[in-house]
Structure 1
Amino acid sequence: MQPRGYIKVLSLALLLAIIPAIGTTAKADTTSSATAEKTGLYSTGARFGTSFRGEDTDQADFFVARKLPWARNLSSGWNLGAAVELDLSILQHDDEEVVAGSVSTDLILSSPGHRFFLLTGVGAGVLEDEILGDINFGGPVFFLFHAGAGLRLTPWLSLGYRYSHMSNGGIYSRNPSLNLNMVELRFTF
């Protein structure tokens, strides 16, 4: 498959994943409050970003997330919860592309009414190829850290920002890092 073919296939897969989510959310909004509380367990979406330290690298993520059963309502009305997220990423540098997969766990702090949220998380992943243009990641395994914020625009759609850091943690002889500013569109159902 040509490098641009990955983006087309992943975009189609994301669209197919979103359509059932929109239908499920619309039905949940018209039912009882007990049913409405069960929504929001899953989310899917895409994020796009670019490096900010001169690496001239872009990344597109397609993700699926699920809330974990642990959550705590704080006395201030805020909620602290956790989620696990699976990502399929495409990194691009100098007209070359590499596919990566990762899993991360997130802590999510939501405002009363869940209109605004902050998140942070850590994870690990694998690169399809450790060399991307003139960047040698040292090996296929990488670790990641991210932090960000989001705003829920509708009950099922949110817009967010994420700072993302990726490196191999020194497990190989080379340890370049990749730092990205990313914009996220998330569908929750």
Structure 2
Amino acid sequence: MPALAGPDEPWNLQPTLAGWHASLAINQRGRDMGAGEAFAWWRLPWTWTRPSGWAIEPHLAAGLGWLGGRGETAGTFRLGPAFSVRPPESPFWIELGISPTLLTRHTFGGLNLGINFQFTSYAGMNWDVTRHLGLGYRFEHMSNASLSSHNPGLNSHTFTIYYRF
């Protein structure tokens, strides 16, 4: 069973990392759609560590950006849990997360996302190039979870650059 470390230090407001996501939609419904987002992660005060050295760290992830295409642009805001899965002594790590997402509009030309409230789930791989600079890729899926009769969903390739504090 993995060891669960309790709060090892008080939670503070300095993010663990911050950066930029650039996304391109890949499904047919989302063609011609793209997004950009400034984001930050705050490490939560728990860590699960396996005897092998693998660690799972929970984070609070927030993003502020835009989603656009087909002559229309929306502002976006998301906030939700994320997890990093780290092997011992490796610059590579996995990220998993889901965030409730607010949009300032939900129609883009002929694409109707249903409502302004969506969920964005993702899984990706990151590389700490240096102690502070990193690059990543993640697959994202955004949909309203059938809260609306229109729920086409949007799948995206997302590329990341980040700074680790």
Place the TM-score, normalised by the shorter chain, in its bin: 0.7 to 0.9
**Would you say the 8 A contact 2:15–2:40 is kept in 1?**
no
Q: Which residue in the other structure is 1:106 paired with?
A: 82
Which structure: greater helix fraction?
Answer: 1
1:10-89 mapped onto 2 (5 Å cutoff):
42-54=16-28, 55-56=30-31, 57-89=33-65
> Normalising to structure 2: TM-score of the pair?
0.86
SS in 2 for 1:69: coil
User: Cα RMSD between the aligned structures?
Assistant: 1.6
Report whether the alignment pairs 1:147 with 2:117.
no
Aligned residue for 2:73? Answer: 97
1:23 matched residue in structure 2: none
> Which ranges in structure 2 are unaligned for 5 or more consecutive residues?
1-11
Correspondence list, 1:121-132, <5 A: 121-132=97-108
Look up the SS of the partner of 1:112 in the other structure: coil
Alpha-carbon shift at residue 41 of structure 1 (Å): 5.2
SS of equivalent residue, structure 2 residue 44? strand
TM-score, normalised on structure 1? 0.75
Larger strand fraction of residues: 2
Shift of 1:113: 2.9
Instruction: Give the gaps of 5 or more residues in structure 1.
Output: 1-37
CA distance in 1, matches of 2:111, 2:50: 44
Q: Distance in 2 between matches of 1:115 and 1:41?
A: 19
Count how many residue pairs are aligned between Structure 1 and Structure 2.
Answer: 151
> Counterpart in 1 of 2:4?
none
Q: Which moved more, 1:114-123 or 1:170-179?
A: 114-123
% identical aligned pairs:
25
Counterpart Cα distance in 2 of 1:70 and 1:48? 29
CA–CA separation in structure 1 for the residues paired with 2:114 and 2:46:
36
Matched AA of 2:16? Y
Structure 1 runs of 4+ with >2 Å offset: none
